[in-house]
């Protein structure tokens, strides 16, 4: 075994640097969204104000689920555009 066999391989070796950078950016964005959702009760733990007919805590969760969906949607279309080329 050589020294190159050790470690974790995150990306394929044939990926361009721009794709690796984009994927890392989306990974950190989505990870931050998930961590914010885990600790939302620290600042969104009240019923008031009512937004769009939902208590503030529920509105906060729905908002971040939509933000996460939009981020994944953008990532999907960026990758599908890349495969068309």
The predicted structure's pLDDT at residue 70: 92
The predicted structure's pLDDT at residue 4: 65
The predicted structure's pLDDT at residue 56: 84
Instruction: Identify the residue whose tokens are 């495969």.
Output: 83
Pick from 63, 75, 77, 62: nearest CA to 24: 75
The predicted structure's pLDDT at residue 51: 79
Vertex 81, ends 67 and 34: CA angle to 5°?
Answer: 25
The predicted structure's pLDDT at residue 85: 58
DSSP 26: H
Instruction: Identify the residue whose tokens are 């066999």.
Output: 5
| Ordered mean pLDDT values, 10 residues apiece, the chain (85 residues) | 67 80 88 84 78 85 89 85 66
Contact assessment for residue 72 and residue 30, using Cβ atoms and an 8 Å cutoff: yes
- CA 28: distance to chain centroid? 6
């Amino acid at each position: 075994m050589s020294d190159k066999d050790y470690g974790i391989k995150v990306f394929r070796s044939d990926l361009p640097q721009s794709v690796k950078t984009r994927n890392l950016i989306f990974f950190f964005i989505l990870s931050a969204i998930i961590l914010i959702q885990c600790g939302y009760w620290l600042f969104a733990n009240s019923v008031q104000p009512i937004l769009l007919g939902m208590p503030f805590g529920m509105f906060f969760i729905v908002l971040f689920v939509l933000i996460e969906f939009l981020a994944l949607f953008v990532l999907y279309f960026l990758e599908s555009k890349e495969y068309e080329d």
